[in-house]
């Protein structure tokens, strides 16, 4: 018999969590400080979980946007088990279009999604507290054609007094998956609960064969955080049918070469 | 993670006791587990998340309550002992704490912990199979069988089965259908609700993982860049395919990713390969009745256990038909002077070899793994060996010359070629190698 000590750990599919975070000038002061502490705590919990998660290998990448957009991990998503949060600082514009273009360019097998062991559909957590300062519509139209974006689980957070609910809902593609709050402590709790719930999606027993959506995850986070349901504000958005979906179903998605 | 109950928090229970929170221990998809003081004892409290009680929380509560009233079917189950009152729309139940030294299946999968030997893996597998056999035989099913349900001791193979809140009379819906990757194809496809035969499929996945550290349905095909729900439905449902399927190799192990398969599978005895092939064959995927019954698992595993010998170098060797063989590690020849021939196979007759109750005819559920015979060596001359009668009944033995002898409980039959002896329904012959 082979030596038990020589066997390798069971192969796990990657589960990528992307945080797309607004660090524009309006986040200066308490908001960005709260964001940093919330992310630090979130990462701490996720890191502990990743060590015993046999269902998925958690990977994390953080994209901040202000004047332009910048990956904190330019070489691609890092293993959650080794990940350390680096504090972000706020300042500059709100270039949502730049963030979406950057995200679009990396949501590809040739870029950030190149796991040898296969992958689950990614999770994207998007947070903003204001209105876009660039023309994001073109970038949004383009990223909606990206299969990974179209099929990812997306959750939105709208912070502060005057967030652009329409823009955030359009990015997330489902207004029921967007939380709006001015309460920073509540935001900190909810982003943690939502991140943890999303990361355990593949490990949780189901009640039905239906897919788990961003809205389901938020609902659970809201239950756990004892937050009022009313913080999910319903802004109807018109999400065009993604041609990415059609391509996917035509090829059944079996062929790895279909995805780029 | 959810808001935690704080230390000192008090909750009343159905049986008129009180649970006082000591500390938070951990969390799963359905809820958190706390250490509590309960009726003067330290116990565990599983406390549900609002989303962890299925579609119908009240029915879920009733089911846990029924399980408390019924009591544990077998010591392997960390069974609900009391249920709490409702607090803010959720509740919990009391069970024994997990003792030290027990780990989850995921810890074994990630090699955070390893079994000390293959015999220990087999013992763990036997405990799991026996526990489900007992559960299924009293008309219950587990319904949410997955890698999170077991605590296993890597040193002795002892198993505790937790999360028994979904256990229900077969056919009763608990609102939980199972965990992705561990559900039977018919459940994944939404053709029916979980029941004892879907339990069998999920149990086979766990057994395969314990031996191979590989998911049986995750070969080349599963290395997809994006596991969409539709793909998930195919890979684990409508087009589920065993990684070692001999007919269709499209889901074969990837040589770089699934290296464990290349190491373990060829070393498994033919009857173990066969039972896995049966459990994950296309017949069993589509027809739940074609899945191996628990007793078939027990028989294969007991035989496997009997056929493993340990070399002086520490390596475990699978001996075929009780015959001598060479250690693949140190190339030493393993001396097996005698073998014990059963009707269908032979096992090595070396000190420590055991004959189990289930190898000598049908028996009661709780006696399956009871050793009825044990190969022992003489205290003053270890080169002399024999088989001790571990039962409370006498055996009939017959010498090569045809003389009959009675072997009383505790007595030993000397290991001599040609002697036959009968235990219950099985006649065993001593053969020399």
Q: What is the ipTM of this complex?
A: 0.88
Tokens standing for residue A88: 């972000």
pLDDT tens digits, B13-64: 999 999 999 999 988 778 899 999 999 999 999 999 888 888 889 989 999 9
| Closest residue of chain A to B175, computed from CA coordinates | A207
A157 min Cα distance to partner chain B (Å): 19
Are A57 and A78 a contacting pair, CB within 8 Å? no
pLDDT tens digits, B75-120: 889 999 999 999 989 999 999 999 999 999 999 999 999 999 999 9
pLDDT of residue B151: 94
- State the CATH class of domain B10-95: alpha beta
**Which of A:159-218 have CB within 8 Å of B?**
192-193, 196, 200, 202-209, 211
> Cα(B58)–Cα(A174) distance, rounded to whole angstroms?
31
> Cα(B385)–Cα(B416) distance, rounded to whole angstroms?
9
pLDDT of residue A241: 59
Query: Which CATH number does B337-432 carry?
Result: 2.60.200.20
B182 min Cα distance to partner chain A (Å): 9
Homologous superfamily (CATH) of A15-258 is von Willebrand factor, type A domain (3.40.50.410)
Query: Which ranges of B44-178 would DSSP assign to H, the alpha helix?
Result: 57-70, 105-109, 118-137
CATH 1.10.510.10 segments of chain B? 103-298
More confident site: B79 or A211: B79
Residue B264 to residue A2, Cβ atoms within 8 A: yes
pLDDT tens digits, B320-350: 888 888 888 888 888 899 999 999 999 999 9
- Judged by phi (left if over 0) then psi (alpha if -120 to 50, else beta), residue B271 lies in alpha
Enumerate the domain spans of chain A.
15-258
User: What are the backbone dihedrals phi and psi of residue B307, each rounded to the nearest 5 degrees, phi first?
Assistant: -95, 0
What is the band of B186 on the pLDDT scale with cuts at 50, 70, 90?
Answer: very high
DSSP B252-315: PPPTTT-HHHHHHGGGS-HHHHHHHHHHTSHHHHH-GGGSPPHHHHHHHHHHHHHTEEE-TTS-
Are A84 and A17 a contacting pair, CB within 8 Å? no
| Closest residue of chain A to B229, computed from CA coordinates | A211
Are B43 and B97 a contacting pair, CB within 8 Å? yes
> Cα(B289)–Cα(B298) distance, rounded to whole angstroms?
18
Give the percent of chain B with pLDDT over 70.
Answer: 100
CATH 3.30.200.20 segments of chain B? 10-95
A140 min Cα distance to partner chain B (Å): 21
With an 8 Å Cβ cutoff, is B226 touching chain A? yes
**Which of B:116-135 have CB within 8 Å of A?**
116-118, 121
Mean pLDDT of the B158-162 span? 93
User: What are the backbone dihedrals phi and psi of residue A60, each rounded to the nearest 5 degrees, phi first?
Assistant: -130, 140
pLDDT of residue B387: 96
Cross-chain CB nearest to A54 (options B50, B110, B317) = B110
- State the CATH class of domain B103-298: mainly alpha
Chain A residues whose CB is inside 8 A of the B263 CB are 2, 6-7
**Which of B:20-79 have CB within 8 Å of A?**
29-30, 49-51, 54-55
Residue B263 to residue A225, Cβ atoms within 8 A: no
Residue B365: which of B179, B177, B137 has the closest Cα?
Answer: B137
B370 min Cα distance to partner chain A (Å): 26
Residue A7 to residue B228, Cβ atoms within 8 A: no
| Cα B52 to the center of its chain, rounded Å | 26
Chain A residues whose CB is inside 8 A of the B148 CB are 203
Residue B223 to residue A147, Cβ atoms within 8 A: no
pLDDT of residue A222: 84
pLDDT tens digits, B249-304: 999 999 999 999 999 999 999 999 999 999 999 999 999 999 999 999 999 999 99
Are B414 and B386 a contacting pair, CB within 8 Å? yes
Residue B55 to residue A208, Cβ atoms within 8 A: yes
Query: Which candidate in A6, A8, A9, A11 is best for mutational testing of the B interface (most B CBs within 10 A)?
Result: A11
What is the band of A240 on the pLDDT scale with cuts at 50, 70, 90?
Answer: low
Residue A224: which of A240, A244, A200 has the closest Cα?
Answer: A200
> Cα(A251)–Cα(B125) distance, rounded to whole angstroms?
40
């Amino acid at each position: 018999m082979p030596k038990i000590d020589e066997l390798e750990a069971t192969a796990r599919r990657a589960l990528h969590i992307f945080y797309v975070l607004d660090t524009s000038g309006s986040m200066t002061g308490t908001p960005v400080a709260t964001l940093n502490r919330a992310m630090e705590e979130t990462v701490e919990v996720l890191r502990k979980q990743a060590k015993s998660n046999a269902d998925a290998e958690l990977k994390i990448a953080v994209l901040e946007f202000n004047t332009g957009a910048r990956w904190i991990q330019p070489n691609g998503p890092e293993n959650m088990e080794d990940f350390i949060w680096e504090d972000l600082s706020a300042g500059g514009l709100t270039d949502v279009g730049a963030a979406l273009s950057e995200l679009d360019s990396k949501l590809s097998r040739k870029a950030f999604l190149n796991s040898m062991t296969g992958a689950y559909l990614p999770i994207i957590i998007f947070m903003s507290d204001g209105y876009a300062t660039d023309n994001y519509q073109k970038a949004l139209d383009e990223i909606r054609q990206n299969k990974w974006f179209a099929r990812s689980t997306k959750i939105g957070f709208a912070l502060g007094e005057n967030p652009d609910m329409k823009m955030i809902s359009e990015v997330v593609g489902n207004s029921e998956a967007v939380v709006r709050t001015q309460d920073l402590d509540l935001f900190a709790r909810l982003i943690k609960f939502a991140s943890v719930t999303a990361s355990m999606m593949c490990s949780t027993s189901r009640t039905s064969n239906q897919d788990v959506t961003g809205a389901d995850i938020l609902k659970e986070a809201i239950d756990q955080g004892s937050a009022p349901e009313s913080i999910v504000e319903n802004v109807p958005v018109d999400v065009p049918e993604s041609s990415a979906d059609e391509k996917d179903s035509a090829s059944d998605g079996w062929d790895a070469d279909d995805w780029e | 993670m959810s808001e935690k109950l704080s230390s000192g928090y008090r909750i009343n229970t159905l049986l008129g006791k009180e649970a006082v929170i000591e500390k938070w221990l951990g969390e799963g998809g359905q809820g958190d587990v706390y250490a509590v003081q309960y009726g003067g004892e330290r116990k565990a409290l599983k406390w549900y998340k609002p989303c962890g009680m299925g579609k119908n929380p009240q029915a879920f509560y009733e089911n846990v309550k029924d399980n408390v009233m019924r009591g544990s079917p077998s010591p392997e189950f960390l069974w609900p002992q009391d249920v709490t009152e409702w607090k803010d729309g959720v509740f919990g139940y009391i069970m024994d704490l997990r003792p030290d030294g027990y780990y989850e299946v995921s810890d074994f999968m990630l090699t955070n912990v390893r079994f000390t030997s293959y015999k220990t893996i087999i013992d763990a597998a036997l405990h799991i199979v026996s526990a489900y056999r007992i559960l299924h035989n009293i008309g219950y099913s587990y319904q949410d069988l997955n890698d999170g349900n077991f605590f296993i001791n890597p040193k002795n193979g002892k198993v505790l089965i937790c999360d028994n809140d979904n256990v229900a009379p077969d056919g009763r819906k608990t609102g939980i259908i199972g965990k992705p990757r561990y559900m039977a194809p018919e459940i994944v496809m939404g053709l029916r609700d979980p029941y004892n035969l879907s339990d069998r499929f999920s149990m086979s996945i766990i057994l395969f993982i314990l031996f191979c550290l590989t998911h049986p349905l995750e070969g080349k095909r599963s290395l997809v860049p994006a596991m969409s729900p539709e793909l998930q439905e195919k890979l684990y449902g409508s087009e589920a395919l065993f990684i070692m399927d001999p007919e269709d190799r499209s889901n074969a192990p990837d040589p770089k990713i699934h290296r464990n398969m290349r190491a373990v599978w060829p070393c498994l005895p033919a009857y173990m390969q066969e039972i896995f092939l049966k459990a994950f064959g296309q017949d069993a995927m589509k027809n739940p009745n074609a899945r191996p019954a628990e007793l078939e698992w027990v028989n294969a595993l007991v035989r496997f256990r009997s056929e493993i010998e340990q070399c002086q170098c520490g390596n475990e060797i699978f001996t075929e038909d009780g015959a001598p063989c060479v250690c693949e590690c140190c190339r030493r020849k393993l001396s097996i002077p005698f073998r014990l021939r059963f009707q269908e196979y032979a096992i090595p007759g070396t000190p420590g070899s055991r004959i189990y109750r289930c190898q000598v005819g049908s028996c009661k559920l709780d006696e399956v793994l009871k050793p009825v015979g044990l190969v022992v060596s003489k205290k003053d001359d270890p080169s002399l060996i024999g088989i001790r009668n571990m039962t409370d009944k006498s055996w009939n033995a017959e010498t090569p010359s045809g003389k009959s002898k009675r072997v009383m409980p505790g007595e030993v039959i000397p290991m001599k070629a040609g002697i036959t002896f009968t235990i219950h329904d099985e006649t065993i012959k001593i053969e020399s190698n």
